[in-house]
Amino acid sequence: MATASIKVSETPLVLYTLRRADDALILGHRLSEWCGHAPMLEEDMALANMGLDLLGQARELYSYAAKVEAKGNDEDKFAYLRDVRQYRNLLLLEQPNGDFARTMVRQFFYSVFADLYWRAMMKSDDPTLAAIAAKSEKESAYHVRHCSEWIVRLGDGTEESHRRVQTAIDDLWAFTGEMFAVDDSERGLIDAGIATDPAGLRTQWLKTVSDVVDEATLALPKNDWMQQGGRSGHHSEHLGHLLSELQSLQRTFPGATW
């Protein structure tokens, strides 16, 4: 690692924006890992397209965080020059792709949340976040539709596809609680009308997820124990490996451009 990590002044709004930017970047990177490996050409394009949407959202959010922080950081520095403990994404999104069913379940859990979240954020009193939300909610709607269709097709498909998608649901379920968690720094932004309270999205999220899972002849786990940590930088072992690939060029050749 040739280049030192940057320092970030994590005021509540900077931290809030970085958390959402990290969600988009990390999930977008995971989807990009499928490029050239998807089960068929149309799906290869779909995964790359969804990854591109997320990368675009990440760029806008990082740029806004940099503007608010006003310490000379920019989107590239946030993405390439923060260490694993400085990343603030949801644990769900850094989980490895696994098989296609696991990738679809991860996308499904997150996209249903993101669609509700961005729609609520269109009413934010922060005009930049509201504008990013207005763009992102349309993209999320496509993602929800795409992965919902796959959950049904896989769940109500063959014995093997059913088993694989059910295993993925069981394994990833414990990471879904973190989407609805709020800490003190976010509570202040919610009270100020800048952030939306994710707790208010949970009922609708569960309803949409349950409807699709039912149609797919699958079942949600009864266990409600939830794992958290990503928002405060306590990640699973997978994120470090992801970042070593994502950051290798900038860490090896600092400031490289093309």
Partner 1 sequence: MVTALANDNDLRQRAWDAAAQVVDPEIPVLTIADLGVLRDVQVHDGRIEVAITPTYSGCPAMNMITLEIELALERAGFARPTVRTILSPAWTTDWMSEGGRNKLREYGIAPPQASSSRRALFGEQQVACPQCGSTNTEVLSEFGSTSCKALWRCKSCREPFDYFKCH
CA dist 195 and 66 (Å) reads 18
CA dist 109 and 107 (Å) reads 6
CA dist 180 and 194 (Å) reads 16
Residue 36 in contact with partner 1, rule: CB under 8 A: no
In the list 35, 45, 192, 219, the residue contacting partner 1 (rule: CB under 8 A) is: 45
Q: Which amino acid is at 158?
A: T
Report in angstroms how near the CB of residue 116 gets to partner 1 at its nearest: 13
Q: List phi, psi (to 5°) of 195.
A: -105, 160
Among the candidate windows 9-17, 53-61, 150-158, 205-213, which touches partner 1 by CB under 8 A?
53-61
Residue 29 in contact with partner 1, rule: CB under 8 A: no
Contact 103, 34 (CB under 8 A): yes
Q: And the tokens for 108? A: 């499904």
Residue 85 in contact with partner 1, rule: CB under 8 A: no
CA dist 96 and 106 (Å) reads 10
Report in angstroms how near the CB of residue 128 gets to partner 1 at its nearest: 6
Give the contact letters, 118-137, x = binds to partner 1 (CB under 8 A), - = no: ---------xx-xxx-xxx-
Report in angstroms how near the CB of residue 183 gets to partner 1 at its nearest: 27
Q: Give the SS3 label for residue 159.
A: helix
CA dist 112 and 107 (Å) reads 8
Residue 59 in contact with partner 1, rule: CB under 8 A: yes
Residue 60 in contact with partner 1, rule: CB under 8 A: yes
Report in angstroms how near the CB of residue 46 gets to partner 1 at its nearest: 4
CA dist 53 and 144 (Å) reads 13
Residue 22 in contact with partner 1, rule: CB under 8 A: no
Distance of CA 133 to the CA centre of its chain: 14
Residue 141 in contact with partner 1, rule: CB under 8 A: yes
Residue 146 in contact with partner 1, rule: CB under 8 A: yes
Residue numbers at the binding site for partner 1 (CB under 8 A)? 42, 45-46, 48-50, 52-57, 59-60, 127-128, 130-132, 134-136, 138-139, 141-142, 145-146
